[in-house]
């Protein structure tokens, strides 16, 4: 999905756009790097690769970092930070590896001009990344600054908010925002019945209005030496010219009116207050927000988030001993106040009132389709932070579920 998005933003393809483990490699221009930061909804960072060398020990890392011309990227007046990640590295301490790379950067500046830049681990001007495999070390300079999921509009949040990049990935996987014929371009409605602070709905509304994901924030490349303010202003002007009235209706609701207030304020900051309709209401009682069937996309309540199920939600103090520890894994079962299971009741409500809709649910519970007595038509692996999840697709057909019927086992 990220490769398709990068292609759409830059036009790159073939050997200039390769997919890898957890990311894509683009042979692109400096202008493209800025454009990707501005427009990408799926990427976490845009890094420029500066070195790729074999290594065996920390001395090799020092030599590799010493050979990079850091002075063409930033000056001694700026602070920097080294971050190291590894996959099957033979080194015993990544902190010591970071220290050696830091020493190499500082020594190169000192050897060139007699001064060295300072390190700031909290708010650095420049972020440098090193990734180590079994025998190779790759050095990058970061062009993003803060991670790209920080769009700049979400100031009001509830418990366990969904990252904007994950919300965008859910929208892309559903086909609503991506593909040869995205559903949003055809005017298909989108509805999140457990919207919380509005992440999914606001991402969708920005997409349907053509608003660039990073239009409200600053980026790390603005502090690097190749940065040219007039070029960047031109890219922002181009992005602003692409904005348009919404092509599809977007709806969100939540049982907690406080969360709806949060979502409305976030939507205002995101520039889409006119493009998204947000209401209060219990997911087990809300009727379809429009006559035309559309796409429901939600990160339903589970574990400590179960309170957002509303009247159907189990209160936090109602957990039995030991259940709270279970809930932190995101796998606690949601129960209604009358002892029933929230998710089968939600499925029953959908089958009665949402015929023709397609529902996509993100959950860590791989057995959820069986508990809902629904057969998923698709499952997409995703990670919500450290929690492995599935995005299940359910195609709603009119009918009533029999609560006494045994739950069917989940598909393999």
Q: For residue 293, what pLDDT is reported?
A: 96
The answer on 278 and 374 residing in a single domain is yes
Lowest mean pLDDT among 17-31, 152-166, 195-209, 276-290: 152-166
Q: What is the DSSP string of 144-162?
A: SSS-TT--S------SSPP
The answer on 105 and 249 residing in a single domain is no
How would you list the strands of the sheet with 378-384, edge to edge?
276-280, 250-254, 190-192, 295-298, 358-363, 387-395, 378-384
Number of domains comprising the chain: 2
CATH number for position 269: 3.40.50.150
pLDDT in tens, 258-306: 999 999 999 999 999 999 999 999 999 999 999 999 999 999 876 544 4
| Tally of CB atoms within 10 A around 155 | 10
The answer on 260 and 117 residing in a single domain is no
Crossing angle between the packed helical segments 199-209 and 257-269, to the nearest 10 degrees: 30
- Residue 363 has what DSSP assignment? E
CATH number for position 62: 3.30.2130.30
The answer on 19 and 108 residing in a single domain is yes
Distance CA 384, CA 151 (A): 18
pLDDT in tens, 133-172: 999 999 999 999 999 999 999 887 766 679 999 999 999 9
Average pLDDT in the 233-250 region? 97
pLDDT band at 388 (very low <50, low <70, confident <90, very high): very high
Range of the domain at 310: 164-215+245-395
Taking the model in full, what pTM does it have?
0.86
SS3 label, residue 130: strand
The answer on 279 and 134 residing in a single domain is no
């Amino acid at each position: 999905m990220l490769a398709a998005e990068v292609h759409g933003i830059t036009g790159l393809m073939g050997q200039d756009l390769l997919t890898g483990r957890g990311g894509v490699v683009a042979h692109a221009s400096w202008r493209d790097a800025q454009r990707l930061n501005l427009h990408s909804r799926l990427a976490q960072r845009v890094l420029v690769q500066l070195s790729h060398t074999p290594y065996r020990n920390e001395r090799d890392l020092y030599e590799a970092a010493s050979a990079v011309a850091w002075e063409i990227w930033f000056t001694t007046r700026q602070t920097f930070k080294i971050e190291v990640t590894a996959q099957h590295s033979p080194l015993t301490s990544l902190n010591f590896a970071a220290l050696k790379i830091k020493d190499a950067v500082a020594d190169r500046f000192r050897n060139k001009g007699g001064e060295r830049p300072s390190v700031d681990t909290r708010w650095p001007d420049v972020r440098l990344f090193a990734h180590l495999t079994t025998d190779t070390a790759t050095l990058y300079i970061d062009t993003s600054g803060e991670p790209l999921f920080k769009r700049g509009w979400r100031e009001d949040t509830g418990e366990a908010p969904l990252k904007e990049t994950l919300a965008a990935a859910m929208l892309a996987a559903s086909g609503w925002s991506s593909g040869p014929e995205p559903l949003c371009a055809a005017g298909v409605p989108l509805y999140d019945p457990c919207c919380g602070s509005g992440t999914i709905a606001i991402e969708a509304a920005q997409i349907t209005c053509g608003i660039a994901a990073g239009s409200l924030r600053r980026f790390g490349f603005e502090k690097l030496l190749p940065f040219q303010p007039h070029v960047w202003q031109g890219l922002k002007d181009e992005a602003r010219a692409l904005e348009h009235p919404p092509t599809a209706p977007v709806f969100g609701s939540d049982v907690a009116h406080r969360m709806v207030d949060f979502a409305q304020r976030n939507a205002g900051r995101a520039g889409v207050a006119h493009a998204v309709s947000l209401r209060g209401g219990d997911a087990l009682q809300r009727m379809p927000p429009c006559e035309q069937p559309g796409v429901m996309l939600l990160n339903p309540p589970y574990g400590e988030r179960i309170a957002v199920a509303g009247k159907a939600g189990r209160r936090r103090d109602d957990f039995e001993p030991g259940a709270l520890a279970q809930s932190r894994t995101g796998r606690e079962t949601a129960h209604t106040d009358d002892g029933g299971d929230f998710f089968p009741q939600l499925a029953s409500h959908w089958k009665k009132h949402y015929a023709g809709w397609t529902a996509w649910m993100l959950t860590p519970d791989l057995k959820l389709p069986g508990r809902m007595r629904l057969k998923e038509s698709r499952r997409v692996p995703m990670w919500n932070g450290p929690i492995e999840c599935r995005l299940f697709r359910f195609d709603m057909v009119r009918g009533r579920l029999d609560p006494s019927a045994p739950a069917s086992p989940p598909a393999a």
